[in-house]
Amino acid sequence: MIDLLTQYPLLAALLALVGLAAVFGALLGFAAEKFKTEGNPIADEINNILPQTQCGQCGYPGCRPYAEAIAGGEAINKCPPGGEAGVQALADLLDLTVLPLDEEHGEAKKVTTIAFIREDECIGCTKCIQACPVDAILGAAKQMHTVISSECTGCDLCVEPCPVDCIDMIAQEESLKTWHWQLPDPVSRRVDIIATDVVLGNASEDRAA
């Protein structure tokens, strides 16, 4: 055998290569089985960025399906609740160009809203309960329904099925709890350097007036 190989170096090289190919092939095959990833990890990351309103404005039945569609090459600008910031984040993640929101799928809301059922008008038809993607409506057939406001995503999906139009989308106005400091106005920049407050410029003008 050794003699044969020394006699035919070509054969030796061939054997060595075939041997190596077999070993690495087996190794790759093993790794592919052992370290197989379940599902699409990029879809998870995309889903993490989506706002989870589950409103279906993108044309998919929920955020997860849209995340999977984006992972499969769908446009990233079909999510109005995510707004421009959401498109930006998706573009950063997927290394795509930032697109303006597709107006076909609705405009970004300026203020967050939550559903409110006018309870004395509710007839207890359960249609809104079936429409709610996050199970945020409580009630039973022929019983009054109500929205669990802390769970409502403001997706509007319950408004359309209501046969008596007793659901309002109420804008969540800014309150003491939700108020926070804003970045200084880059145009006027009439703010003080020592006492760090925002309303200075306006306040002094008001007094002068």
Partner 1 sequence: MRKVFDFHGGIHPAENKHQSVRSPIADAGIPPELIIPLSQHIGAPARPLVSIGERVLKGQMIAEARGFVSVPVHAPTSGTVHAIEDRLIAHPSGYLAPCIVITSDGQDEWTEHNGVSDYQTLEAADLINIIRNAGIAGMGGAGFPSAVKLSVKADTHIKTLIINGTECEPYITADDILMREQAYEIIEGTKILQQIIAPQETLIGIEDNKPEGIAALRAAAQGTGIEIVTFPTKYPSGGEKQLVEILTGQQVPSGGLPSQVGVVCQNIGSTVAIFNAVVHGQPLISRITTVTGESVREPQNFEVLIGTPVQYLIEKAGYQREENNRLIMGGPMMGFTIPDTDVPIVKTTNCLLAPSEAELSTPPPAQACIRCGMCAEVCPASLLPQQMFWFAQGKEFEKLEEHNLFDCIECGACSFACPSNIPLVQYYRASKAEILQLRHDHEVAEQSRIRFEARQQRLEQAEEEKEAKRAARKIAAQQRAQAAEEGGEEDPIQAAIERAKAKKAAQQADTGDESELETLEKAVVSTHKRLGTATAKLEQAKAEGSDLVDALQTGVDKTRDKLTAAEQALKDCQQRLGTHSAEQPPADGAQAAIARAMQARTTEASLSPQEKARLDLKKLQNRLQKSQAVLIKSRDNAEEKKVIDALESTVARLTDKINAVQQQLNAAEDA
Binding site for partner 1 (CB under 8 A): 47, 50-54, 62-64, 133-136, 151, 153, 175-176, 179-184, 188-201, 203-204, 207
CB 163 within 8 A of CB 124: no
Q: How far is the CB of 198 from partner 1 (least distance, A)?
A: 7
CA–CA dist 205, 194 (Å, integer): 19
Q: How far apart are CA 92 and CA 77, in angstroms?
A: 13
Q: Which is nearer to partner 1, 28 or 203 (CB)?
A: 203
Q: Which of 154, 15, 24, 14 is nearest to 80 (CA)?
A: 154
Q: Which is nearer to partner 1, 7 or 188 (CB)?
A: 188
Residue with tokens 């995309």: 46
Strand ranges, E, within 55-196: 113-117, 137-138, 146-147, 167-171
Sequence-distant (≥ 6) Cβ neighbours of residue 126 within 8 angstroms: 139, 140, 141, 145
Nearer to partner 1, 2 or 195 (CB): 195
Give 35 or 181: the residue with its C-beta nearer to partner 1. 181
Amino acid at 186: P
CB of 142 to partner 1, least distance (A): 21
Report whether 142 contacts 180 (CB < 8 A): no
DSSP-derived letter for residue 101 is: -
**Smallest distance, Å, CB 150 to partner 1?**
9
As measured in angstroms, the least distance from the Cβ of 29 to partner 1 is: 34
Q: Where are the beta strands (DSSP E) in 87-185?
A: 113-117, 137-138, 146-147, 167-171
Q: Which is nearer to partner 1, 12 or 170 (CB)?
A: 170
Q: What's the closest the beta carbon of residue 15 comes to partner 1, in angstroms?
A: 54
Shortest reach from residue 53's CB to partner 1, in Å: 7
Closer to partner 1 by CB, 14 or 111: give it: 111
